Chain A
Amino acid sequence: VQPPEKPLQAEEWNKLREDFQVPDIFEEVMLNSMIRCNSPIDVAKSLLTDLAKRNGDIGYSVLVKYLTLCVQQGQVSEIRDVYDIMKVRFKILEGGAYNLLVKGLSNSDQWRMALTLLEEIKKIMIPSRTCYESCIKAASRHQEMKLAFALYREMLAKDVVPTLDVLQSFFDFSRGMTGAELQKELFGILLYLRENQIYPHKTFMRSIKLWFESIPGGNWRGHLTNIKDSGQCPVCKHQLEDSNLTEEEYSNLSERIIKDVIHGTDTFRKTSPKEFEAFQTFVENRLPFDIVIDGLNVSHIKSRRMQCENLFDAVNCLAKENARLLVLGRKHMLMNSSNWKREIMKEMQTKADFFFAENISEDDTFLLYATLRSGKHCRFVTRDFLRDHKACLSDSLTRHLFRKWQRGHQISKPKCFFSVFSQQPAFRYDCVVQTTGDTWHIPYKDVFEEKYSYQVPKEWLCLQQK
């Protein structure tokens, strides 16, 4: 339906309604298309007037739609009127209307009313993140940073996850302001990014940079840079944090892997207690390994070649460095077949230790166990992202630990290797927001660049105090 351009008389609305196939929902459809076309508010008013005259009442959903239109156009007095009507008419409102009201009012000079409305919402439910977002933005826009931070802390306390927009607005509006308190709060936000492994996007990064450089007397200078594989910042020559886990984190992670991933609800799902015990004694007798290889995964690298040849190449290449290797496989690899030649398998077993699991067991869990058991220096080779094993871990903190450890210890190869088995180095440094007091290093992502959960940004913001 095309909304009319001007307010219409009752007869004219009637005519339009009759032409419409489903007269019952005429008003809602019409208002929806008005919202889409951003029609003048008077047209919507004339429709409401007609509706009120005919029925003597206007439904809640129609009022909310009208409110949407008012908020869209920033008609503050109308928003207030609608709120007054709604408040009298209904005992409480639902989330959608509250969101609209708060959003509409916070963008106007009556933003304090949005705050009182927020208090009202809290009595009924937990306000949505958009409610908090509007209020925080309104407060910081009017330089009431204390209030904004109070709201922010309240939001975190209620487990409402703030949007990156809110966090960015803090940096935008604090630019050039002094105060140790304020600085502490903003550093707190950066630490929040660190703890939750969130990477800011480019514009957010710019806001951070501008804020740092605007601190009066702070002498902060920011540079955009790429970090080398060695983990050294090319600008300030600072060595980034190591990707290794601490002793406590390490033992915590290995414990959880055994508990959640290998055993889970039922040890029989991935292996059997007997087999796992056999594997444990096998590993303990031969510790420590330098590299653990997922045999089946590696054997599928090049589909045109025989599977055991692929594995043979990999083992040969890695064995040259005089490393202690462990190859994990399944029992069917020992059967002489077109893909698995017995002679080649025998030759490989002189260069590396092999463990063959049952055909229906999952060898990935063994891979994780053997690597973790061998210690921090040990790495593993597989193309698998190990997402399903990560998913078995029960809390997000351990999942973060797992990702970090995986980044530091997994070797995944480039897609095609020819004669030389070239490895992609595991990350030596940890990719999170980090500080030493007089420097900050903040990884950021380009908004246009696609980023998967296993990828980490290569671009960094280096901030140093002179």
Chain B
Amino acid sequence: MQSANMLLRKIVRSSVLPFAAQHVMKKDLFPLSRTLSLSLCLKQDKSCEPSEKLDLDEWKKVMKSGLQEEVSETVSEPEKLSSLAAARETLEMWRLAGRAVPENISEEQLKTFMECPSKSAKKKYLKYLHLKELHKKNDKRKMAEKRERRLEAQDQASKTDDETKTSPFICLWSRTMDKAYNWRAAQSMIFGQPLVFDMSYEKEMSVREVTNTVKQIILSESCNRRSPDPFHIHFCNLKDDSLYHREFIENYREAWSKLLVTVTDQCYTEIFPKDKLIYLTADSPKVMKTFDHDKIYIVGSMVDKSIKRGVSLARAKRLGLETAALPLEKYLLWNTGAKNLTLDQMMHILLTLKDTADWKKALEFVPKRKYCGFVNKPVKELKKTLDLINTLKIGKRRENIEKQFAKNCPKK
């Protein structure tokens, strides 16, 4: 039947087919079609008149015909493209092929794209730009919607009530709040406990990692300023015109010079007595037990996306400083992820510790995905249940347990 169908289809396609034959054969040809909707269509077709024959190569004619004028244009264009233009052209083709490529790309971005050392690096960079563009577009759309809603609300408000409201409370505008925060920050610069950000990791990081670091520091600084009892922040080892410095200026602009923090290119060991310094690093063998108000804690300003173990520990070792790690294992049942936290998370944790000395409250700021829960039972018991889960996962060990069980049974 199949082959007969194929044959018939060929006949139908050939242009010399007489009309009558087509009309007769249709009955045999189409009942095989699967979808109900199709057969319905066909019935309608049949009822009015036999449909015209399908010209399968018609799309080629369409594609070619619409292009005649364009062809002459392209031919007249200069053949050789500059490398930048060629790259732009390639990107356009990638976009047409449905890859994650941004619609608009600036000259500078195009240059960075071309400087990427490998194909995968190029892809990664383009995907990053593409996502950035999408986010930007979404934000713009949301802003527009919000503006519209606000205008509508204003219209309605102006219609309904005319009298001006008098509030019994003083309205605290953000400027007033800022003044209050700055007052506190200024106080902390005189009386507050120092907290050091060690800005000596520029060589260890890529440009994007430095950007991320600076963003995280800005977040930490703002949450420090808003806290009831802020730290006196020190940016140590910050060289003028380093990448860190340039990023800071780009983000803070004029506010950079008014920031209530201490910025210095000196090392913390030159400013503070060595025995008071404690370097916080996840690689430290020592675990922090309590927050000490007399010590000066140092946080390494580093984002390491490629795992560089022991870099900050090495720095502390070199200077002969005491080190400490957060007691994550002791309080949290760790699930996945690295034990190094972002700088703003560190800041939140340290601030909470300073104010409350409550580890549980402080470690709330560790991302939820990284741990299963707080340790509420003795660690030994928890380890048992964890082991049990693991043995259930791994068949081999289960056999061992069964053997042990068999051994234990006769004794009883």
| A interface residues with partner B (beta carbon < 8 Å) | 2, 4-9, 11-12, 15-16, 19, 28, 42, 45-46, 48-49, 51-53, 56-61, 64, 81, 85, 88-94, 96-97, 124-125, 265-270, 272, 359-360
Contacts and interface: CB of A to CB of B under 8 A. Distances in A.
Contact of B58 (A52, A59, A93, A272): A52
Contacts of B93: 60, 90, 92-94
Given A49-B54, A61-B96, A94 B90 contact: yes
A360 B33 contact: no
A88 B67 contact: yes
A49 B58 contact: yes
Contact of B310 (A8, A56, A270): A270
B395 interface: no
Contacts of A4: 33-35, 38
A53 B62 contact: yes
Nearest to A11: B41
A5 B34 contact: yes
6 contacts: A5-B32, A11-B45, A42-B9, A57-B66, A60-B93, A124-B90
A365 to B, nearest CB: 12
A62 to B, nearest CB: 10
Contacts of A64: 97
A359 B51 CA distance: 87
B55 interface: yes
Contacts of A96: 97
Interface string B79-99: 000000010011001101110
Contacts of A12: 38, 41
B313 A61 contact: no
Given A4-B35, A5-B32, 17 more contacts: A7-B56, A8-B38, A11-B45, A15-B38, A19-B37, A42-B13, A49-B56, A51-B59, A52-B63, A56-B62, A59-B96, A88-B67, A88-B71, A92-B90, A269-B311, A269-B314, A272-B318
Interface in B40-56: 41, 45, 51, 54-56
Interface of B: 9, 13, 30, 32-35, 37-38, 41, 45, 51, 54-60, 62-64, 66-67, 70-71, 74, 86, 89-90, 93-94, 96-98, 204, 285, 309-311, 313-315, 317-318
A88 B314 contact: no
Contact of B55 (A2, A49, A90): A49
Contacts of B89: 91-92
Contact of B62 (A52, A92, A94): A52
Contact of A97 (B66, B74, B97, B313): B97
B97 A52 contact: no
Given A61-B97, A94-B94, A360-B313, A89 B67 contact: yes
Contact of A49 (B59, B71, B94): B59
B51 A6 contact: no
Most B CB contacts (10 A, CB to CB) among A46, A51, A90, A268 go to A268
Contacts of B74: 91
Contacts of A19: 37
A53 B38 CA distance: 20
A360 B96 contact: no
Contact of A9 (B54, B60, B63): B54
B51 A9 contact: yes
A397 to B, nearest CB: 20
B54 A124 contact: no
A418 B347 CA distance: 53
B285 A360 contact: yes
A81 B117 CA distance: 36
Contacts of B59: 45, 48-49, 51-53, 58
Nearest to A42: B56
A81 B60 contact: yes
A138 B45 CA distance: 49
A343 to B, nearest CB: 27
A57 B98 CA distance: 17
Contact of B314 (A8, A28, A52, A268): A268
Nearest to A86: B63
A159 to B, nearest CB: 11
Contact of B311 (A46, A59, A266): A266
A81 B33 CA distance: 30
A12 B45 CA distance: 10
Given A5-B34, A49-B54, A89-B63, A124 B86 contact: yes
A93 B13 CA distance: 33
Contacts of A52: 58-59, 62-63
Contacts of B45: 9, 11
Most B CB contacts (10 A, CB to CB) among A4, A45, A94, A272 go to A94
Contacts of A49: 54-59, 62
A374 to B, nearest CB: 27
A112 to B, nearest CB: 24
Contacts of A56: 62, 66
A48 B55 CA distance: 11
Given A6-B9, A15-B41, A268 B86 contact: no
Nearest to A272: B317
B317 A268 contact: yes
Contacts of A97: 97
Contact of A45 (B56, B86, B204): B56
A60 B96 contact: yes
Please list the 7 inter-chain residue pairs (A to B) with the smallest Cβ-Cβ separation, ordered nearest first: A268-B314, A60-B96, A52-B59, A94-B93, A52-B62, A45-B56, A48-B59
Contacts of B94: 94
A16 B315 CA distance: 66
Contacts of A16: 35, 37
Given A58-B59, A61-B96, A266 B86 contact: no
Given A15-B37, A268-B314, A270-B310, A53 B58 contact: yes
Contacts of A57: 62-63, 66
B318 A6 contact: no
B90 to A, nearest CB: 7
Nearest to A41: B56
Contacts of B34: 2, 4-5
B37 A46 contact: no
Contacts of A45: 56-57, 59
B97 A85 contact: no
Nearest to B13: A42
A420 B54 CA distance: 84
Nearest to A18: B37
Contacts of B54: 7, 9, 46, 49
A92 B54 CA distance: 32
Most B CB contacts (10 A, CB to CB) among A15, A61, A360 go to A360
Contacts of B70: 88
Contacts of A58: 59, 63
B285 A85 contact: no
A6 B12 CA distance: 12
A359 B286 CA distance: 11
Contacts of A28: 98
B317 A94 contact: no
Contacts of A124: 86, 90
Contacts of A51: 59
Nearest to B58: A49
